[in-house]
Amino acid sequence: MDINLEDVFEIVEEPEHSKNFLLNFQEKYNIDSEDLYLFYQQDGINYEELPITEENFKSLLHHFIIFKENGGDPWELKESDNWKENIAYQNKEENYSSCSFLFSYVIL
């Protein structure tokens, strides 16, 4: 009996798979995934403080870790075409501040 791994497992290529997940998440929820991850690590932010489900919150954290561990650059998430059009964020490094997540979240 021949077993095809693609029939049993979803085979993905990283960091592109996680990058696409994170970009879709950012567009859907209007939340910067790197900021969310950093605030989670530093301040213990949890999903109850956000307009997302616990499952989506855990999935975001998982995908961000996988993205970084596989050589993903968080600036790619800020420089995507979809994210560049997001008025709540300045995507240029010199204009970027770690507080932008908090300000945009409070405004939303």
Residue pLDDT, tens place only, 74-91: 999 987 765 556 555 544
Domain ranges of the chain: 12-80
Report whether 33 contacts 22 (CB < 8 A): yes
Give every residue of the chain whose pLDDT is below 50, as ranges. Answer: 90-108
**Distance in angstroms (rounded) separating the CA atoms of residues 97 and 89:** 10
Specify the pLDDT at position 13.
Answer: 95
Specify the pLDDT at position 60.
Answer: 95
Tokens (6 digits) for 108: 């939303």
**Distance in angstroms (rounded) separating the CA atoms of residues 62 and 59:** 5
